[in-house]
Copies of this chain bind each other. A is one copy, B any other.
Amino acid sequence: MTRTADAIMDAAERRIRVGGYGGFSFREVAADIGVKSASVHYHFPTKDDLAAAVARRYTDRFTQAVANKIAAGTKVDVAWRDVFRRSLAEDGRMCLCGILGASAHGLSEQVAAEVRRFFRSGLEGLEAGGLGKEEALRFLAMLEGSMLVASVLGDQALFDAASAPAAAAAA
């Protein structure tokens, strides 16, 4: 069954969003969902396997959420901002791949590749939505930076203020 594997990824994602890659352990994740660490190793042999799986699922989930909004008629840049905004509102923490990416140079290639995938697919999606290459780059950077500042200073309104005007200016 994938139910346990999903629960493991849920717990790991929560922990990574608090303390980064170095901020979670197999025992903590196992305890979070009421199993033993050996069971976590059964589903994800190594820590890198788990972190990479979490990052991959995050990217897919994020991409899908954005696609749904676009299908409903939302403009691509507004869709991206909305999805980030809702995630930030839920727990006050920033993008999972932004957190992992901040210490990208200390990650294994396996995990770093998944983080790069998130950023690359983000840029591709924004360009496919009509933004210019540099415009997409600036927009994604602005969103990540806005989440970072809002997360550090603990004020979600800062994300709104930092990202709202740029969103209006784009496209």
Contacts and interface: CB of A to CB of B under 8 A. Distances in A.
Interface of A: 17-23, 92-94, 98-99, 101-106, 115-116, 119-120, 134, 137-138, 140-146, 148-149, 151-153, 158, 161-163, 165-166
A138 B162 contact: yes
Contacts of A104: 151-152
A101 to B, nearest CB: 4
B101 A148 contact: yes
22 contacts: A18-B106, A19-B103, A20-B21, A20-B22, A20-B106, A23-B103, A92-B105, A94-B102, A101-B102, A101-B151, A102-B148, A104-B151, A105-B151, A116-B153, A119-B152, A138-B146, A138-B166, A141-B148, A141-B162, A141-B163, A142-B145, A144-B149
